[in-house]
């Protein structure tokens, strides 16, 4: 029974870069770009990063797929690590599309990472049932991303708990009552007297995810 040859040892810098790449793949689902590695390790030249990547590849720690020989971006994005599964959820961000007059297409090599898009970890998602927020561009079946907060500003879209029932509405504070206002002109608000009812703000709207 044969035993695999041990991999050559890494230098301190190579090990740090390897660990950075591995963590990036595990948490975000894709490898970092060369510019990300430059920034993280204060390496002034992309060629310096490429030297480290070539060393990691030659020592068997990473694999690299080079789709475009002259594209450093493609080389960076082509990194894989044997036995390391991609985590997180991201999609290719290929550019900006006009909803009005057409604009020139500019190729990009970026990805949209949902966690980075909303900027914080204190988030949760709920699925919308019903049409009470339809005039606020939130439809039945949408997923709303909510930032956890126990307080809110007047007029913010919130998820609130009223007597153990959860609802999403527009928050309107009046003199002695709280109005959880639907954004649907055919529906009446939920009027809450905080002296008599248990009402809690669970969070405010951060974004809407819709599958078409």
DSSP 28-55: HSSPPPHHHHHHHHT-S-HHHHHHHHHH
- Is the model more confident about 113 or about 11? 11
State the pLDDT at residue 118. 73
Give the percent of the chain with pLDDT over 70: 76
Q: CA 148 to CA 69: how far, in whole Å?
A: 46
Mention the CATH class of domain 8-112. mainly alpha
Indicate if the pLDDT at residue 165 is higher than 70: yes
What share of residues in the chain are helix, strand, coil (percent, to 5)?
25, 25, 50
Residue 174: CA count within 13 A, CB half-sphere: 12
* Tokens coding 166: 């959860």
CA torsion sign for 190, 194, 197, 201 is: positive
| Structural element, H or E, at residue 147 | strand 143-148
State the pLDDT at residue 89. 64
Catalytic residue list contains 169: yes
Q: How confident is the model at residue 69 (pLDDT cuts 50, 70, 90)?
A: very low
Q: How confident is the model at residue 171 (pLDDT cuts 50, 70, 90)?
A: very high
Catalytic residue list contains 211: no
Indicate if the pLDDT at residue 21 is higher than 50: yes
Range name among 66-70, 140-144, 185-189 with the lowest pLDDT average: 66-70
Q: CA 26 to CA 8: how far, in whole Å?
A: 23
Of the residues 28, 132, 157, 170, only one is catalytic, namely 132
* Contact (Cβ atoms closer than 8 angstroms) between residue 128 and residue 176: no
Q: CA 121 to CA 136: how far, in whole Å?
A: 25
Residues 6+ apart with CB under 8 A from 37: 17, 20, 21, 43, 49, 52, 76
Indicate if the pLDDT at residue 136 is higher than 60: yes
Indicate if the pLDDT at residue 75 is higher than 60: no
Indicate if the pLDDT at residue 71 is higher than 60: no
123-209 folds as: Umud Fragment, subunit A (2.10.109)
Of the residues 28, 157, 169, 170, only one is catalytic, namely 169
Mean predicted confidence (pLDDT) in 47-57: 93
List pLDDT tens digits, range 76-108: 567 888 877 776 666 666 666 566 666 666 666
* Tokens coding 22: 């591995």
Q: CA 166 to CA 180: how far, in whole Å?
A: 11
Every domain of the chain with CATH number 2.10.109.10 lies at 123-209
Q: How confident is the model at residue 109 (pLDDT cuts 50, 70, 90)?
A: low
State the pLDDT at residue 82. 83
Predicted structure pTM score: 0.58
Indicate if the pLDDT at residue 24 is higher than 90: no
Mean pLDDT taken over the chain: 83
End-to-end alpha-carbon separation of the chain, Å?
A: 54
């Amino acid at each position: 029974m044969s035993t695999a040859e041990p991999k050559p040892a890494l230098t301190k810098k190579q090990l740090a870069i390897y660990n950075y790449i591995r963590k990036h793949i595990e948490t975000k689902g894709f490898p970092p770009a060369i510019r990300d590695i430059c920034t993280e390790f204060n390496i002034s030249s992309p060629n310096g990063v490429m030297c480290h990547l070539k060393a990691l590849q030659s020592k068997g720690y990473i694999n690299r797929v080079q789709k475009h020989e002259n594209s450093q971006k493609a080389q960076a994005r082509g990194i894989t690590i044997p036995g390391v599964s991609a985590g997180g959820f991201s999609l290719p961000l290929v550019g900006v599309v006009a909803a009005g007059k057409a604009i020139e297409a500019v190729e990009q090599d970026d990805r949209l990472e949902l966690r980075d898009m909303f900027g914080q970890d204190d988030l949760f998602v709920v699925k919308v049932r019903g049409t009470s927020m339809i005039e606020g561009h939130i439809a039945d079946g949408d997923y709303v991303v909510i930032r956890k907060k126990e307080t809110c500003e007047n007029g913010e879209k919130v998820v609130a708990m009223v007597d153990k029932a959860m609802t999403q509405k527009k928050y309107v504070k009046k003199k002695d009552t709280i109005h959880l206002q639907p954004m649907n002109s055919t529906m009446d608000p939920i009027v809450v007297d905080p002296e008599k009812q248990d009402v809690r703000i669970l969070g405010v709207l951060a974004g809407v995810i819709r599958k078409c």
